[in-house]
Structure 1
Amino acid sequence: MSGIGPIPVRTTIFEFMSAKAAALGAINLGQGFPDASGPASVRAEGARLMLEGPQQYPRMRGTDGLRTALAAFYAETQGLALDPATDIVVTSGGTEAIAATLLALLSPGEAALVIEPAYDAYAPLIRRAGATANFTRLFPPEWRITRAALEAAVTPNTKLILVNDPVNPTGRMLDADERAAVREVALAHDLLIVADEVWEEVRPNSRPHVSLAADPALAGRVVKIGSAGKIFQVTGWKIGWALAPAPLAAKIAATHQFLTFTSSPTLQDAVAFGLNSERAWLTVMRDEIEAGRARLADGLAAAGYVVLPSEATWFLSIDLAASGIALGDVDFCTRIVEQHGIAGIPVSAFFEGEDGPTNVVRFCHAKAPATIDAALERLAAARRALG
């Protein structure tokens, strides 16, 4: 690993703000977790399996039940043709799927293209593989991907591009033109695509998710990342997966075996139960999430904040500068948690360096109505205090 240089170790902004909120008794709209606990039937099945199901190591690639359920779920919902035996690797959460993929597919001297704002695990994991993270930046309020921006970040050493859709933190879903830009750049430069699609089911019922893995022009070059925690609101279960053509999946599995090797068989099979039987719950969940988004967005607008457009994930953002607030996002988040008891996330944390946007703050709206209303009272007080 010589020549890579030091890799900084730091607490993530999400852990920092959650700890701050807990210490101060603040309402936590920072870290992304819902107030809800997922479908009761899935949790009941998990409890039953804990008592009656297998308790030893399952197969390294995942239980047969979960891999079969994933293949059926994605065939029906996204038109993917997956072989449960060769194309699926179950991991300990979506982040481990990303880690196993990047460590498997990148080598020292290669580069990965990261679209900012980006999940803060991407770049450190790329560097752990000995590779270089190259960045292209999107800016509010549109946050749009263009081919020109992608092309400008491609180098002769670029091996893959990381694409998050729906996007955390912006809450956007990529449109057909943006997916086309990704496709065209990947084909022009023979790049692999790591499609982080963990938010695929957290979107309006009227807007089906379109996976890059379903694009026939990209056959053989897409690794799709998914997460049971996001689909079923059970983030603490830490069950995720990487879906990929067999040659890529074999490399990912070889890395996964030395990261966590496997995950709880009871939780895996409980997720399989949910994928097989709780499609109706997903429809209700999406409507509830949309109601929470609208409740928070309307309340923020009424309090004098400019809310940026979003349609997916558990998040929405406000534009401080457009709201007439002369504070950067870090200072604003520090002030509201310490003085008003409400935690948010500065979106500058999703950028490397000091020159990213510092005027956008992210809030999690996947909360109970009473929690959102209490948060809005505190955010309205903060807005009045700022003049």
Structure 2
Amino acid sequence: MTTPALNSRLPEVGTTIFTVMSALAQQHGAVNLGQGFPDFEPDPALLQRVTQAMADGHHQYAPMTGVAALREAVAAKIEQQHGHRYDPGEEVTITAGATQALLTAVLCCVHPGDEVIVLEPCYDSYGPAIELAGGRIVRVPLTAGTFRPDFDAIAAAIGPRTRALMVNTPHNPSATAWTRDELDRLAALLAPTDVLLIADEVYEHMVFDGRPMAGASAHPRLAERAFVVSSFGKTLHVTGWKVGYVAAPRALSAEFRKVHQFNVFVVNTPMQHALAGHLQARPEAWQGLPAFYQAKREHFRAGLARTRLRLLPCEGTYFQCVDIRGVSDRGDADFCRWLTTEVGVAAIPLSAFYADGTDQGVVRFCFAKREATLDEALRRLQAL
């Protein structure tokens, strides 16, 4: 029997760089600072709430839109942080992580032939999501060197077929964070258009040095046209739980839910009950996150400063980028392979976040790790 040939919907997509580098790290016993996940445990109180939710019998389907208590907790958190009130019944949807939320947001609004602007470098799920919807990807580079938005280039990219713009702040991989002035410029740029905003804000609670989080929910003119995506996995150190949310105006949420109910339907029930209880009982879990990760950032940066790697600014996220050109003349991807196999520390090349492989001699480390893990990585990096 012969398996029929399949015409791939994503013919250019292979194994992600994160999977490749993690496998290489494991093979060579390297400290894995490549893939973005914590190597420490979440709050034991959160785990106890999962156990309690199971003991309480929360084993069946949750409501399609999410457990009501969790949607209410999300709405309250956003209102406290940004001063914008979403209706938890109509405007907040619990998702199976942020990647599913991003895909669903694209599928619900992008039709074949529509254009979607992405700002490169960008998370690798954006392009495939647009292609699966039949849309056309319009790539606009962030400013080389600073990774700030180039509003002239964004304006030039907007055309009659533009359906949406995808924005990520704080930004993976560059660790920059948009400012309120930049959001004002974006709002003014989009005001005369019908372009929707898909705001990837999964690192919303990791903004450092006293900066406020400049998010779409906090900007009324952007909130009215935005799908705002976030992740409990990032916020509460449980990336494997794959639970996130989308906040959007009623009309956008209604279309989002039409797709959501058929590509996921519902999200893990006991986890939702545990997350709801945790957000209500322990608001410091997210309120204290900037200080928690800033301390890790400072520790890691102090160690990197003793190498010949040049530190780039880190305004948010749990990533630190470095310029490798003072250390090596290798391309960034080759450097990361060499660093993993010969030095024993895994990193991610920024060229992997560009469709054309743009190489600026920059690599990304993840510092969402125990201090002992960071110290071992820094010890090895002293060889540089």
TM-score (norm 2): 0.94
Aligned equivalent of 1:352: 355
Q: Determine which of 350, 355, 364 is the counterpart of 2:366.
A: 364
Aligned equivalent of 1:235: 239
Please report how far the alpha carbon of residue 278 of structure 1 lies from its aligned counterpart in structure 2 after TM superposition.
1.7
SS at match of 1:208: coil
Gaps of 5+ in 1: none
Q: How does 1:329-348 map to 2 (within 5 A)?
A: 329-348=332-351
SS at match of 1:7: coil
* CA distance, structure 2, for counterparts of residue 10 and residue 222 of structure 1: 30
Q: Determine which of 246, 267, 271 is the counterpart of 1:263.
A: 267
Is structure 2 residue 330 aligned with structure 1 residue 327?
yes
Gaps of 5+ in 2: 1-6
**1:106 partner amino acid:** V
**1:341 partner amino acid:** G
* CA distance, structure 2, for counterparts of residue 361 and residue 273 of structure 1: 38
Contact 2:10 2:131 in 1 (8 A): no
Aligned equivalent of 2:381: 379
Please report how far the alpha carbon of residue 219 of structure 1 lies from its aligned counterpart in structure 2 after TM superposition.
4.6
Contact 1:127 1:133 in 2 (8 A): yes
Shift in CA distance, 5/41, structure 1 to aligned 2, threshold 3 Å? closer
Aligned equivalent of 1:193: 197
Shift in CA distance, 184/4, structure 1 to aligned 2, threshold 3 Å? farther
* CA distance, structure 2, for counterparts of residue 95 and residue 329 of structure 1: 26
Is structure 2 residue 277 aligned with structure 1 residue 273?
yes
Is structure 2 residue 76 aligned with structure 1 residue 72?
yes
Shift in CA distance, 219/310, structure 1 to aligned 2, threshold 3 Å? closer
Shift in CA distance, 210/253, structure 1 to aligned 2, threshold 3 Å? same
* CA distance, structure 2, for counterparts of residue 242 and residue 97 of structure 1: 7
Contact 1:146 1:178 in 2 (8 A): no
Q: How does 1:33-72 map to 2 (within 5 A)?
A: 33-72=37-76
Q: Determine which of 13, 19, 26 is the counterpart of 1:22.
A: 26
Contact 1:7 1:127 in 2 (8 A): no
CA deviation string 1:243-268 (max 9, x = no partner): 11111111111111111111111101
Shift in CA distance, 102/242, structure 1 to aligned 2, threshold 3 Å? same
Please report how far the alpha carbon of residue 138 of structure 1 lies from its aligned counterpart in structure 2 after TM superposition.
1.6
* CA distance, structure 2, for counterparts of residue 157 and residue 97 of structure 1: 23
Please report how far the alpha carbon of residue 65 of structure 1 lies from its aligned counterpart in structure 2 after TM superposition.
1.1
Contact 1:145 1:181 in 2 (8 A): no
Tell me how large the CA RMSD over aligned residues is: 1.7
* CA distance, structure 1, for counterparts of residue 42 and residue 9 of structure 2: 42
SS at match of 2:305: helix
Number of matched pairs: 378
* CA distance, structure 1, for counterparts of residue 272 and residue 333 of structure 2: 38
Contact 2:183 2:214 in 1 (8 A): no
Contact 2:196 2:225 in 1 (8 A): yes
CA deviation string 1:263-310 (max 9, x = no partner): 111101111122212222334443231121112112112111101001
Please, which moves more after superposition, 361-370 or 279-288?
Answer: 279-288
Shift in CA distance, 219/35, structure 1 to aligned 2, threshold 3 Å? closer
Q: Percent identity?
A: 36
Shift in CA distance, 324/336, structure 1 to aligned 2, threshold 3 Å? closer
Contact 1:144 1:178 in 2 (8 A): no
Contact 2:118 2:137 in 1 (8 A): yes
* CA distance, structure 1, for counterparts of residue 36 and residue 73 of structure 2: 26
Please report how far the alpha carbon of residue 5 of structure 1 lies from its aligned counterpart in structure 2 after TM superposition.
7.0
